[in-house]
Structure 1
Amino acid sequence: MVSLSDPAVQSYILYSAILALKVLVMAVLTGRVRYAKKVFANEEDAKASKGKVKLDDPDVERVRRAHLNDLENIPAFWILGALYLTTSPEAAWATLLFRVYAVSRIIHTIVYAVKPLPQPARGIAFMIPMIVKWYMGIAIVSNYISAL
């Protein structure tokens, strides 16, 4: 079964924590862009910072979309990664999958919200983690369907 002393489990915990911190950083990044541009979603924030209420600033919305993309994709990694560990994967392979996923999500944020690059940079940075999730999902289903 799954044990905290298993290197694959330790790797999952490490990369899950990195991704959780990344999600938290996105909120800070959104606030940083709002304050730099003096555009806010709420009247009280705009008044306190001598800014204005604006809900459609392209720079703020780009960071918000990147944050939303994380919120749509990273929880699926947490679920699939945890379930994948129950299939007793080889530790080195599981670590590689978790690492590639985390690094690709970080690159996705950089090319989407920090230093936007033309396509296909964002598309590649999005698809690599998607492939990792699909791989883990198929491995989980294959492992447990054969047990039925």
Structure 2
Amino acid sequence: MNDALQVYALCVVLLFLKMLAISCYQGYLRLSVLAFHNPEDAAFFKRRAREAERPQVIRAARAWTNDLENIPAFFVLGGLALALDAPATFSAWLCVVFTLARVLHTLTYLAGVQPWRTICYAAALVCLLGFCAVITTQLAMG
């Protein structure tokens, strides 16, 4: 297994764990005060369902939704770059920077910190575009 593939695999695992953590965080926010929006969840804890989710839960859900819009593209583009034997060092760096940017994006999203959230989002997007360029170059070299 080459080094770039190992880096990619580690980044995939870290991003999965980050997404799992934000899901658990939403559950924690609900359980810590036993406040649930879904009637079946509230009933399980013998509570009345809330009209709306807590603001912290909504913010975490939005960060998670943003992950769903971006991280699968990394899985596909990063995997394609490696499958097409893109330059290993460049691909590995794209993986690391993307992963770091997405972790920081989540933290800044949860904290409500601008402009850092947008900067982290843009850094991850640049990595995805970098993968697009690498893939296109590899295909052109045929």
The normalised TM-score by structure 2 is 0.89
Consecutive unaligned residues in structure 2, runs of 5 or more: none
Residue 72 (structure 1) aligned to one of 69, 78, 90: 69
For residue 126 of structure 2, what is the amino acid of its counterpart? I
Consecutive unaligned residues in structure 1, runs of 5 or more: none
The 1:20–1:70 alpha-carbon spacing in structure 2 relative to 1, beyond 3 Å, is same
Tell me the C-alpha RMSD between the 2 structures: 1.7
Aligned residues: 141
The 1:51–1:34 alpha-carbon spacing in structure 2 relative to 1, beyond 3 Å, is farther
User: How far is the alpha carbon of 1:56 from its aligned partner?
Assistant: 4.3
Matches of residues 3-14 of structure 1 in structure 2 within 5 Å? Answer: 5-14=1-10
Secondary structure, in 3 states, of the residue corresponding to 1:53?
coil
Matches of residues 126-137 of structure 1 in structure 2 within 5 Å? Answer: 126-137=121-132
User: How far is the alpha carbon of 1:58 from its aligned partner?
Assistant: 1.9
User: How far is the alpha carbon of 1:24 from its aligned partner?
Assistant: 1.4
For residue 16 of structure 1, what is the amino acid of its counterpart? V
Residue 79 (structure 2) aligns with: 82
Moved more, 94-103 or 30-39: 30-39
Cα distance in 1 for partners of 2:33, 2:97 equals: 34
Identity %: 32
Cα distance in 2 for partners of 1:89, 1:146 equals: 11
Do the aligned residues in 1 keep the contact of 2:4 with 2:88 (CA within 8 Å)? yes
Cα distance in 1 for partners of 2:6, 2:48 equals: 45
Secondary structure, in 3 states, of the residue corresponding to 1:30?
helix
1:26 and 2:22 matched: yes
Cα distance in 2 for partners of 1:8, 1:130 equals: 20
1:107 and 2:132 matched: no
